[in-house]
Amino acid sequence: MTGKNLLKAVAVGIVLASTTTGAAYAVPSYAYADLSFTNFTLGGVIGAPGVTVNSTAVTLTDGANYPGFAPASNSAAGNTTTGADVTQATSGPGAFPAQNTFTQAMLPAGALLPAGTRGDALITGAIAGGATSNLVAEGKLSVPNASAGSQSGTSTTLNISFTAGAGTGPITLTFTASSMAQAIVGTNGDSANAQLGATFRIFDQTAGTFLFITDNTDPTDSGTNIAPNALNTNVATTNAASPATFTSGPTAYSFTSAPLTSGHTYQLALQDSTTILLSTGAAAVPEPASLALLGSGIMALGLLRRRRNQKR
């Protein structure tokens, strides 16, 4: 082979090596968190004679962040009669499922795409008449050589303010909830984390104190701030051979507050959230085949230089 042809071969080899070098974490990481409430009902003094509901408000927020892409966030306000719907937030190359898709839609199997993160939330129907609430956060991290992590989160806040009249009985809150969290990594050292959260409380604005609430489903969880264990959990993994999954539901929940005081103003608040976190591990390690190709190119350069020195 002439020196000119050898130089061409070296150049091709090095170009091929540089373009085919892959990251060790080319297999995507994935996380999914979903929380849903159905048959949401309020009983007791709310809606009873002598009780004045001052305001009803529902706030939904969502967000998404993915390395190399602009973050996104949205918010929406509604009420306890018609509910609320927030625009899905997405970040990353996609493609993404349609808004209000509350199922796993970006599973890691197959091709690297779709990739990115999304968050979405929706409440439909009257809160006191069996409303349905859905939240979802989902993401897949598969950008080659990405050093930053990605995350997505969604939350809903339900606030109902009311003044107790002559009836001073307790408030009852019932709903059926189901949840799912899953975390998967394709390469050891990468991490995936899916988180769920839900809390419920009633604040006596007149007295400046929180009411004691009994969890009829699990009395050990009773107190002034209720956070059922099955709705407050997270799963995480950094092991490609050990996906982490949590599933709960559908499970019925029932709560009863302490008796109200006539003339006092109260605020009932229910907050829930879903969050996923994804990150890569150590710096990318070139694949063996790419290393061999790059090495052969460097060796060829050495032979070419040696040949030229011998001709001098």
Q: Do 81 and 169 belong together in one domain?
A: yes
Q: Do 172 and 114 belong together in one domain?
A: yes
Dist. CA 200–CA 198, nearest whole Å: 7
Q: Do 58 and 94 belong together in one domain?
A: yes
pLDDT band of residue 242 (cuts 50, 70, 90) is: very high
Per DSSP, the three-state class of 142 is: coil
Q: Do 263 and 179 belong together in one domain?
A: yes
Percentage of the chain exceeding pLDDT 90: 46
Residue 88 CB contacts under 8 Å (≥ 6 apart), including other chains: 62, 74, 96, 99, 100, 118, 119, 120
Q: Do 10 and 87 belong together in one domain?
A: no
Q: What is the pLDDT of residue 127?
A: 76
**How many other CB atoms sit within 10 Å of the CB of residue 62?**
27
Q: Do 172 and 192 belong together in one domain?
A: yes
Q: Do 187 and 266 belong together in one domain?
A: yes
Q: Give the residue among 91, 177, 178 at the shortest CA–CA distance from 138.
A: 91
**How many other CB atoms sit within 10 Å of the CB of residue 175?**
25
Q: Residue 56: give the domain boundaries.
A: 24-284
Q: Do 174 and 236 belong together in one domain?
A: yes
Q: Do 16 and 43 belong together in one domain?
A: no
Sign of the torsion angle spanned by Cα atoms 93, 98, 102, 103: negative
Q: What is the pLDDT of residues 195-232, one digit of tens each?
A: 999 999 999 999 999 999 999 988 888 999 999 888 99
Q: What is the mean pLDDT of residues 285-289?
A: 41
Q: What is the mean pLDDT of residues 254-281?
A: 91
The count of domains in the chain is 2
Q: Do 200 and 299 belong together in one domain?
A: no
Q: What is the pLDDT of residues 131-156, one digit of tens each?
A: 889 999 999 998 664 567 899 999 99
Q: What is the pLDDT of residues 13-72, one digit of tens each?
A: 333 333 333 333 357 899 999 999 988 887 777 767 677 777 788 999 999 999 889 999
286 DSSP assignment: -
Q: Do 8 and 34 belong together in one domain?
A: no
Dist. CA 76–CA 19, nearest whole Å: 45
Q: Do 206 and 305 belong together in one domain?
A: no
